[in-house]
Structure 1
Amino acid sequence: MHFFSQFLHFFSSTRIVLLWSCLISISVQAQKKNANYRLHIKKASSAITIDGVMDEEAWKETDVAKDFFMVLPADTGRAEQQSEVRMAYDEKNLYLIAVFYNNPPGPYYVESLRRDFQFGKNDNFLIFMDPFNNQTTGFSFGANAAGAQWDGTMNNGGRVDLNWDSKWISKVTRNERQWVFEMAVPFKSIRYKKGVTEWGINFSRLDLKSSEKSSWTPIPRQFPTASLAYSGVLVWDEPPPAPKINFSLIPYVLGSANVSSLNENNTEYETKIGGDVKFAVTSSLNLDLTLNPDFSQVEVDQQIVNLDRFELFYPEKRQFFLENADLFANFGYANIRPFFSRRIGLDVPIIAGARLSGNLDENWRIGAMDMQTANDESIGLPSQNFATVSLQRKVFSQSSIGFIFVNKESFNYPDESEEYYELYPKYNRNLGFEYNLASYNNLWTGKAFVFKSFSPDNDGNGFTQAANIEYKSQNWNFGFKEEYVADDYRAEVGFVPRNGYFKFTPFLGYLFYPKKNTPILSHGPKWTSIYYFDESMNNTDYLNLLQYYLNFRNRSSFRATFIDEYVKLLEPFDPTGTGKPELPAGSEHHWNALRLNYSSKPQSMFTYTIGGRVGGYYEDGSWLSVNNELGYRFQPYVSLSSVISYNNIQMPAPWNTTDFWLIGAKADVTFTNKLFFATLFQYNEQSKNFNLNSRFQWRYQPASDLFIVYTYNDLMPPYSESTHSITLKLVYWFNK
């Protein structure tokens, strides 16, 4: 072990040079893979009505994208389900109509009429647009076979962020032999560069009855059809219309009533007025302003069982923070984030904010955000300002270099005591840069970054650095990741749950593809090792995983995982998460376990995912967990789902036996694609919490909504606190 520690200490001093050299050497410039797939678009010769019927003269004069390629279950030929796509434009809108044939005729599978549906659970069509033709950013639009819309921004060469909403219209018609999707997207709703006559473009179709996913351009099956590296080219007969003034005002008015047991069940009433402003500085750069924002209509977080020693991550759901969010949130890794927007304004009101984000040209992107929060005299919390600036430069085919600066400044302390200066430091800053690798064919990906923090005392002036590289072909998937977080690195506006460690993660996987037409589409093993060391290179944790995957032709899947885990506790820890005695710091624990998971095929009206874990736990104990997700739909109007988790922990005294349930159920009713109702209840026996959230939404105009939200939260003994609230919120989108 002494030799191993010396080797790792040597490796830790050279790892960044080795990995960064690999990342840069792989980033070679190459011609776009599918540049020869070209679809010509010209100005419509007649008016187009969005009705899902291809009867306008303009559609007869367009190019046709057809003869799609099969991506799944195999990528060796043309798709069996035929599709045709046509595009046109006028001075205001970009138009598309697509026809999808059923051969043989059969049922359609859709989850609901809910916007931004789950891709794998719906017959659907998606378009991926890359207006800068840079293979990294863009927009996605589409619909399922029942007409539910899908829209999102694209980043990192193929990730789609569905939290973005824009104003556009569409219509779906269908019969047993075909379904038709027609849409009109205002040029005001997207960002593009003036004068450009070639955009990246691709089209994707998923047909669940045949389990076939297809694409206009050929794409290897290990990659998503959203991969912009494999997009074709949309060729304009002349540059798209020059952008005109694009100004949106989105005010809201809100009224709410709140009842709390801590306030002797008296009713408190609140009214709020605020809103957002969107202004297109250029055709590709947007300025967003917000005043007195409110996020009461945002869905509550789904509760989870917490048996982790470190803080858990919950995703951002507030709309203002989500457009172009990758410019801020994608720096670092999942557990090393210099910026995490949920640190802003969850406990105190946001007074106002501004954000500038988008493309400067085909190579440069910028993000700048400034948010101001109020103070809270009851806990001595001062007013705080959160400022973030990021700059991203595309290099080579799809790679990029990024810079970020994050500043949190505290002022106007309600109480000038030294205690509050220690609790809420006057400032915390992070400065750093990163390199993102994406080879021209997506086979190699990776990242390397360095961040430095600055704080008023010497306890928060550390740094972190990490790098990883991954290779993914149809058969092979392997790579390596290394991380270092100094004990004195601080990211108060970020998410860094653990400090003072080195981490090394090698992994290797292989997939077999049966040559015969068997129920199994692919299968294979994957090995992953995760090793943690303290700053003196003493091993504190390791986790070895040996997994085997089975992917079935009907899109169901099974995974078995053998676990070998070791933990040396750095701090006292309650292994049950229920307030029982803590294990002492420095104690060592080792166990083995087996985890199984199965997900059913999405074509069924009744779907389920079931899994469990059985094996050892802390202090030579055992941990048994069983969890499942059940769903049933009366398509396309009603979707019912539930989450049930049971945990049983057996340990010696004083812990003895600990068991608890987590139960959640959700009803999602979509009366039309503009009228929605959803209700979610959750009971977490571990945290003694019962929660009910019901939300009614009427989209009476594009991007304009009426919300009625009811929330009930009950903290059971020993906490004994309950709250009720009902909120009515009206939002209207004025667009010029």
Structure 2
Amino acid sequence: MLALSIHAVKIKDIEDIYKIVEESPGYKLTTVMPKLQENPSDSSIVYIAYTPTELIVYSKNYQKGISANSRRRDAVAMVKGQEDNIAIIIAPYGKGNDVYYIAVNPLGAIYDKMISIFGETEWDGNVKALTEETEYGWSALLIIPFNALNYGEVVWGIQICRVISKKGEMQFLFPTTSLNYIEDIAEMKLDFNYIKKDKNFNFYVMPSVRFSQEDKTNKFTWGGTIRFKQGSKSVLDITYHPDFSEVDVDMFKFDLRRLPIDYPEKRIFFTEGSNYLSMPFPLLRTRNFEKPLWGVKFFTATEKVSLISLFINDASLGNATIIRTTYNPFSSTKIGFYLMNSEIGYNLSSMDFINYYEKLKLSFSLQASKRLDNNKNLYYVAFERYEKPGLSLGVSYTSIDSFIISPFNYILIDFEGIKQVQSFLHYRYDKSSYTFMPSFIYNFIQNKFNSENIYKNYGFFVYLQTTKFPIILFSNIGASFD
């Protein structure tokens, strides 16, 4: 039976993990979907170790036939369970805090993100993965440098999840049906005296040079970023004319100023530490900073407190200051504060609260935001419960005054002057050969001032997924626009 506390083995070099594989029984994953099974036929055995500079995870994944096509980083098919993969989830400030989610498929493609109780944010760590097809299935070796993580010298949280896509099977190190990677995870103790400490202060210079052509005129732009890093917890970035080109997008074919296209944020200045900006109802879309001329960013975190501040000078939006801090009085509770001041007159304050009730597998979120320059408000409250298999439900209410939408949150917020309710309820029943799920949804948007309906969506359907294809047994979906 799996213990809740995981023992990571100290090794000198990465290659020593193979000695651990030969000498140790490792940890066997438990199948949770489609049904609970402690000894699945397609088993997974993982080995966890660490050198003074890296966390090492090796997995032996037994199965007949491999399903994987993605070769590029952060392929969505992995997180959607559309191809085989194994993921390690690390909470380096302990259970209840933000986690690093790092997955790899049999072809060696990596998917790495940050996950908080508010959702997923971009993170690209210096993670290495080695995979190999074997006679029993496939193996994976994940190498995660400690200096790529922000961590505390506390008991870490850890979870390992494997997906076998063709069977619709999910296996876990710490068996759970809630899929809550923040709370429902195991614990892992490390000897921090063995881990090599970074210097008290590290100094980095990252220059950038860009050549471009505008109206048949060659243009040369130089800039760079200076970084000061204290240990594993605090970072200060000062950037001037950084290479904020269209990351992951061909700049000769696309123009990122076309805001209706919602490109993901990939610029390092904004992605690193972006999890500390997360909140139940997001108020900032950093992609809307089209041409930052210079900026300063500072973030730090402990087991209980996080703080991030940004000062950005943008060619279109002028100067903007953003501050966000959170406090965790308990492992399952987070209180957050947000403040924004801008040169264009959009000034905002916000407070939020979120709590997770472990026994009920239920999360509660509350947020109140106010524009300080015109006293306009935004309120958000939500209850959510996710379980696979089992009962999942969610209800949220949002009230948005007029003049809340701004150049800083355009695209994130579609309507203003509205009241909105979104709800769903479904029960998932899994067997080895099929999944049966009746579902109910009810959503509407009303004009806040006269209560007239703008949009309504409601319905009930029954879904059946067999091993070969999905079937909608019954569907009664309606929608209306006024």
Deviates more, 1:123-132 or 1:312-321: 312-321
Aligned to 2:165: 208
1:534 partner amino acid: K
State whether residues 366 and 392 of structure 1, in contact with CA within 8 Å, keep that contact through their aligned partners in structure 2. Answer: yes
Kindly provide the amino acid, as one letter, of the partner of residue 184 in structure 2.
Y
Contact 2:355 2:364 in 1 (8 A): yes
**41 and 471 in structure 1: CA distance in 2 versus 1, 3 angstrom threshold:** closer
Counterpart selection for 2:66 from 108, 112, 125: 108
Q: Which amino acid aligns with 1:64?
A: G
Secondary structure of 2:346's match? Answer: strand
- Cα separation, partners in 2 of 1:240 and 1:203, compared to 1, 3 Å: farther
What is aligned with 2:84?
A: 123
Aligned with residue 331 of structure 1, among 261, 276, 279: 279
Q: Separation in 2 of the partners of 1:134 and 1:209?
A: 31
What does residue 439 of structure 1 align with?
Answer: 357
- Bigger-Rg structure (1/2): 1
Tell me what 2:113 maps to.
152
Asked whether 1:275 is paired with 2:231, we answer: no
Contact persistence 1:69–1:79 (CA under 8 A): yes
The 8 Å contact of residues 265 and 286 in structure 2, kept in 1 or not, is answered as no
Contact 1:478 1:509 in 2 (8 A): yes
1:21-79 deviations in Å (ceiling 9; x for gaps): xxxxxxxxxxxxx99422212321x53339xxx64x4555657211x111222235443
Structural mapping, 1:163-242, within 5 Å: 163-194=122-153, 196=154, 198-220=155-177, 223-224=178-179, 227-237=181-191, 239=193, 241=195
**CA distance, structure 2, for counterparts of residue 295 and residue 442 of structure 1:** 44
Larger mean CA deviation between 246-255 and 146-155 belongs to 246-255
Q: How far 1:365 moved relative to its partner?
A: 1.1
Aligned AA (1:370): F
Partner of residue 48, structure 1: 14
Deviation readout 1:233-252 (Å, 9 max, x if unpaired): 11225555253134443333
Per-residue CA deviation, residues 190-212 of structure 1 (Å, 9 max, x unaligned), is 11113x3x211111111234332
Question: Is it true that 1:371 corresponds to 2:288 in the alignment?
Answer: no
Query: What is the TM-score normalised by the length of structure 1?
Result: 0.58
Structure 2 equivalent of residue 454 of structure 1: 372
Which residue of 2 is the match for residue 75 of structure 1? 36
CA contact (8 A) 1:100 1:178 kept: yes
Q: 1:387 aligns to what?
A: 321
Q: 1:395 to 1:203 in 2, by over 3 A?
A: same
Quote the offset at 1:179 in angstroms: 1.8
- Classify 1:561/1:274 alpha carbon distance in 2 versus 1 (closer, same or farther; 3 Å): farther
**C-alpha distance in 2 between matches for 1:322 and 1:442:** 33
Query: Kindly tell me: are residues 512 and 482 of structure 1, through their superposed partners in 2, closer, same or farther at Cα, counting changes over 3 Å?
Result: closer
Structure 2 CA distance for aligned equivalents of residues 435 and 83 of structure 1:
38
Partner of 2:415: 498
* CA positional deviation for 1:531: 4.2
Residues 115 and 275, structure 2, Cα contact 8 Å, conserved in 1: no
8 Å Cα contact 1:170/1:183 also seen in 2: yes
Q: Which amino acid aligns with 2:57?
A: L
In structure 1, stretches of 5+ residues that fail to align are: 1-33, 259-265, 304-310, 376-382, 410-424, 568-736
Q: In the alignment, what sits opposite 1:725?
A: none
How many angstroms apart in 1 are the aligned matches of 2:439 and 2:152? 46
Write the distance in 1 (CA, Å) between the matches of 2:125 and 2:354: 28
- Cα pair distance change 1:144/1:84, threshold 3 Å: same
Residues 655-686 of structure 1 deviation map (CA, whole Å, 9 limit, x = unaligned): xxxxxxxxxxxxxxxxxxxxxxxxxxxxxxxx
- Displacement after TM superposition at 1:133 (Å): 1.0
Q: CA deviation at 1:433?
A: 0.3
Q: Match for 1:487: what amino acid?
A: S
Of 240, 253, 256, which residue of structure 1 is paired with 2:209?
253
Q: Distance in 2 between matches of 1:89 and 1:514?
A: 37
- For 1:544-585, what per-residue CA distance to the aligned partner results, in whole angstroms no more than 9, with x for missing partners? 310425252448556656223141xxxxxxxxxxxxxxxxxx
Q: In structure 2, give the amino acid aligned to 1:288.
A: D
**2:306 maps to 1:352:** no
Cα distance, 1:257 vs. partner? 3.1
Which residue does the alignment assign to 1:420? Answer: none
Residue 350 of structure 1 aligns with an amino acid whose one-letter code is P
Instruction: Tell me which amino acid in the other structure corresponds to 1:544.
Output: N
- The answer for the alignment partner of 2:99 in structure 1 is 138
Give deviations 1:233-290, integer Å, cap 9, x for gaps. 11225555253134443333222234xxxxxxx5232222223344322412222332
1:353 corresponds to which letter in structure 2?
A: G
For 2:438 and 2:378, the matched residues in 1 are separated by 35
1:47 and 1:58 in contact (8 A); partners too: no
Residues 483 and 72 of structure 1: CA distance in aligned 2, closer, same or farther (over 3 Å)? same
Deviation at 1:538, TM superposition (A): 3.1
SS at match of 2:147: helix
Q: CA contact under 8 A between 1:485 and 1:499: conserved in structure 2?
A: yes
Q: Does the Cα contact within 8 Å between 2:9 and 2:49 map onto a contact in 1?
A: yes
- Shift in CA distance, 540/445, structure 1 to aligned 2, threshold 3 Å: same
Q: Residues 216 and 514 of structure 1: is their aligned pair in 2 closer, same or farther, counting only changes over 3 Å?
A: closer
- Alpha-carbon distance in structure 2 between the residues aligned to 1:114 and 1:390: 33
Q: 1:696-711 counterparts in 2 under 5 A?
A: none
Partner amino acid, structure 2, of 1:524: P
Contact 1:124 1:206 in 2 (8 A): yes
List runs of 5+ in structure 2 lacking aligned partners: 254-258
Q: How many angstroms apart in 2 are the aligned matches of 1:277 and 1:63?
A: 46
Q: Is the 8 A contact 1:463 1:488 kept in 2?
A: no
Select the residue among 392, 410, 425 that pairs with 1:509.
Answer: 425
Instruction: Show the counterpart of 1:616.
Output: none
Classify the secondary structure of the residue corresponding to 1:327: helix
Match in the other structure for 1:679: none
Q: Match of 2:309, SS? A: strand
AA partner of residue 311 (structure 2): D
Match of 2:256 in 1: none
- Matched to 1:127, the amino acid is I
The corresponding residue for 2:480 is 565
CA distance in 2, matches of 1:149, 1:510: 32
Match runs of 1:610-689 below 5 Å: none
Structure 1, residues 318-352: CA drift from partner, whole Å, max 9, x if none? 32222232332x3353xxx43221332x2xx3111
Partner SS, residue 513 of structure 1: strand
Q: Measure, in 1, the Cα distance between the counterparts of 2:392 and 2:59.
A: 35
RMSD: 3.0
Q: Percent identity, please.
A: 18
TM-score of the superposition, structure 2-length normalised? 0.86
- Match in the other structure for 1:314: 262
Is 1:476 aligned to 2:391, yes or no? yes
Q: C-alpha separation between the residues in 2 aligned to 1:160 and 1:296? A: 23
- Does the C-alpha gap of structure 1 residues 116 and 313 become closer, same or farther in structure 2, counting only changes over 3 Å? closer
* Cross-structure match for 1:39: 6
Q: SS of the counterpart of 1:188?
A: helix
